[in-house]
Amino acid sequence: MLLTLFRRLFGRERSTLPPFDFASNRFHMRKKWPPNFDELTKKQQFRFERKFKRRIKDKAVRPEWNRKVTIVIWSLISFVLVYGVLFHDFAKDPWNPKPGEQPFIGLRTWMWNKLGNFYTHTEETIWGGGRGSRRQAPLQSEPPQGTASERENGRAEDRRG
């Protein structure tokens, strides 16, 4: 058994199959492939090129991939345009040919005036003293004194008295 393993690993016996004979093949090729373009006329070369360009283009079409790539590309274009028009600070941009100038200031003010009423909080309700506003400073609460039962008894006395 070990001897057959070494024979298989280090030396292969010659195949007993006869070499392939193209002349006696039952399935003959109709045309030689690939064709020799030097032997073809210009018209035949053009036909081959047109045919195989069409076949390659048909194989390259992947609708799902193309749709996803198109969505990503248009999303990036939209993001860059919206950011550039509405949020980018062109006045401080070193690449701006006219330093200190905001090119879309009219559009920005119009848009923020329209959207300003969209949000529920204004500056006054956020920082003012109204109901639901943020606290200016954290509450200073005193730590409870005594045990839990003493606190319970104290609350009960406060309610009675």
pLDDT tens per residue, range 14-69: 778 888 888 888 888 888 878 888 999 999 999 999 999 999 998 888 889 999 99
Full domain range(s) for residue 110: 78-119
Which 3 state secondary structure label does DSSP give 141? coil
Q: Could you give the CA distance from residue 85 to residue 108 in angstroms, rounded to a whole number?
A: 8
Would 41 be classed as within a structural domain? no
Which residues, including other chains, have CB under 8 Å from residue 90's CB and lie 6 or more apart?
Answer: 96, 101, 102, 103, 104
Hunting for tokens 């193209």 — which residue is that? Answer: 22
Would 84 be classed as within a structural domain? yes
**pLDDT top residue among 119 and 80:** 80
Would 33 be classed as within a structural domain? no
Hunting for tokens 């058994």 — which residue is that? Answer: 1
Would 28 be classed as within a structural domain? no
- Count of domains forming the chain: 1
What confidence score (pLDDT) does residue 23 get?
84
Q: Is the pTM of this model over 0.75?
A: no
Would 115 be classed as within a structural domain? yes
Q: H/E element holding 61?
A: none
What confidence score (pLDDT) does residue 42 get?
94
Within its chain, how far is the Cα of 26 from the centroid? 54
Would 141 be classed as within a structural domain? no
Q: Which of 6-20, 86-100, 109-123, 147-161 has the lowest mean pLDDT?
A: 147-161
Percentage of the chain exceeding pLDDT 70: 70
Contact in structure between 112 and 85 (CB atoms under 8 Å)? no
Would 102 be classed as within a structural domain? yes
- Amino acid present at 153: N
- Exposure letters 16-45 (e unless 16+ CB within 10 A, then b): eeeeeeeeeeeeeeeeeeeeeeeeeeeeee
CA distances 99 to 25, 89, 96, 104, Å, are: 80, 11, 6, 14
